[in-house]
Structure 1
Amino acid sequence: MRTGADVTAARAALHEQWDALRRWVDQVGDAELAAAPSVLDGWTVGELWAHLGRALEALTVCTSAPAGAAPLSLREYLGSYAAGAAEIAETTRRLAAEQAADPVGAVDRSARAAFARLDELGPGDPVVRARRGPVRLSTMIVSRVVELVVHADDLLLSVRRAHGTDTVPDPVHPGALRLVADELLAIVVARGGWDLEVADARTWVRLAAGRVPYDVDVLADALHPRYTSDAVPDLGRMLPLL
């Protein structure tokens, strides 16, 4: 298994996922929908959308790290979210309220600033200082793809529930989904040493992100052993990763 996406692949996935989300919002967005409860407890659809702007803004505030700074791994960076959950929720609600008059435009502006900052930081893979510590630029970009993919899926389920139909289009970009699935599996493999591959990327990402309850049968649908003589290990103590 590869050790991680490079900057070029991560940037491409981030662009693709953002573009897919932006087109989707034009298709399904409306003012009434913003107030509907999302599938994340305590968050509205509008707050979930505002959070995407905050997630992209994390790229905008990246600066060059001091020489010799030891970068966090993707596992370490994603693992730092839990400690800041209350702050993330509070900031998200404040942003949603501030941006209520033009929520799509506000996140558009965050996206433009984020991609402009990426152009300034690249094209190499330097260590950058992010909100939660020093990371490789590639790791930081991948973490943003994780945010956009996971929350695009949250938005899909939220809007389908609000409309009472499964016909709402899917905002998750297949290539970005696959990158996230592979990156999250790489975290698991690095910790346990198993030889696994992704069988169902959507199910695996939902399990790894804690969006569906852990179940060994669901896991067996999401991941397969690379060799038929092996079995999928019980990952109940390791999941969710987010």
Structure 2
Amino acid sequence: MAQNTRSAKGSATGRKKPRAYDPVKTRAAVLAQFGLVREVVEGLSEEQLAGPSGLGEWSVRELAAHLSMAVSSVVRGLGEPAPESAEVGLLDWPFTTEKYAGQVADDTRAVAAGAPVAELYGRVAADIAEVLPGAADDRVVRTRVGAMRFADFLVTRTVELVVHSDDLARATGVEVPFDRQALAACTRVLADALAVKAPGASTEVRIPPFAVVQCIEGPRHTRGTPPNVVETDPLTWIRLATGRTQWADAIEKAQVRASGERADLVGVLPILG
């Protein structure tokens, strides 16, 4: 997944203490969401797999391959020697992926051209079930964007899985359910990334029931009802944050409620492309 071309104004190192994620719940969420995707992918016909994904020139088969890579990257990272220290934090990750978009696309095409998707998913499921139970949360793993704590890297996998599960559903017309914990983690990472990209406290962004963040430079609100409020549901937020939905369209369709002169996020969206 590649970030959009706008650079982040803030940085994760300048943010308040990062949100904590329960490693046990994160592990379960990754496995659960991959299982839900696998069930759908294995039921797709060859005609469906050959159809367009809606993501550039990728076919649905290539999208399915990319989804499997979100989990196989965990297996690969655990199979390599551990780096001495982490280079990339959880909230740095959304802003480090853009330059790898071409490499990701090449790797995706190569994986899609290999084994049939059912065989591919079966192999990945077996591999992750073998390595995940023994992995330490604080172990450092090598990732495409740099060395990360294993627990943080797993949280990024929920983002990849949820975002592309939604892509798969829209491309095929087949519902892909969301594991609640995976959806929550994805929502929170992208909300916190917004606060990093547009630091401030003039606007409150609410994504019930999972996240509330403050962002945008301007007068700080301390009590009572905030003068600038944005509220939306998790799936609409994820689509906005990744450029799948445009701000103006979401406003027009009443998918977003925005009040106040600073409650316009068009200048800071998307977060991740």
Query: Shorter-chain TM-score category?
Result: 0.7 to 0.9
- Cα distance in 2 for residues equivalent to 1:40 and 1:58: 21
Structure 2 unmatched ranges of 5 or more? 1-16, 208-231
Structure 1 unmatched ranges of 5 or more? 161-167
- Cα deviation for residue 2 of structure 1 reads 6.6
Query: Is 1:129 matched up with 2:150?
Result: no
- Cα distance in 1 for residues equivalent to 2:252 and 2:91: 23
- Cα distance in 2 for residues equivalent to 1:10 and 1:220: 32
Query: Is 1:54 matched up with 2:69?
Result: yes
Q: Which residue identity lines up with residue 217 of structure 1 in the other structure?
A: I
- Cα distance in 2 for residues equivalent to 1:211 and 1:53: 21
- Cα deviation for residue 65 of structure 1 reads 3.7
Runs of 4+ residues deviating >6 angstroms: none
- 8 Å CA contact 1:34–1:46 kept in 2: the answer is yes
Structure 1 range deviating more: 82-91 or 104-113: 104-113
Report the counterpart of residue 237 of structure 1 in structure 2.
Answer: 267
Q: Which residue identity lines up with residue 181 of structure 2 in the other structure?
A: G
- 8 Å CA contact 2:67–2:161 kept in 1: the answer is yes
Query: Is 1:204 matched up with 2:210?
Result: no
| 1:34 aligned to which of 39, 49, 63 | 49
Q: Which residue identity lines up with residue 168 of structure 2 in the other structure?
A: L
- 8 Å CA contact 1:207–1:219 kept in 2: the answer is no
- Cα deviation for residue 218 of structure 1 reads 6.7
- Cα deviation for residue 219 of structure 1 reads 11
The higher-RCO structure (CA 8 Å, 6+ apart) is 1
Question: What percentage of aligned pairs have identical amino acids?
Answer: 31
- Cα deviation for residue 232 of structure 1 reads 6.5
Instruction: Flag the 1:37–1:66 CA change in 2: closer, same or farther, 3 A.
Output: closer
Please list the CA deviations of residues 158-184 of structure 1 after superposition, one character each: whole Å capped at 9, or x if unmatched: 002xxxxxxx33333333212211221
- Cα distance in 1 for residues equivalent to 2:83 and 2:242: 32
- 8 Å CA contact 1:56–1:110 kept in 2: the answer is yes
Greater share of residues in helix: 1
Instruction: Flag the 1:48–1:116 CA change in 2: closer, same or farther, 3 A.
Output: same
Q: How many residues align?
A: 226
- Cα deviation for residue 156 of structure 1 reads 0.2
Report the counterpart of residue 74 of structure 1 in structure 2.
Answer: 90
Equivalent position SS for 2:154: helix
CA RMSD of aligned residues (A): 2.6
- Cα distance in 2 for residues equivalent to 1:44 and 1:234: 34
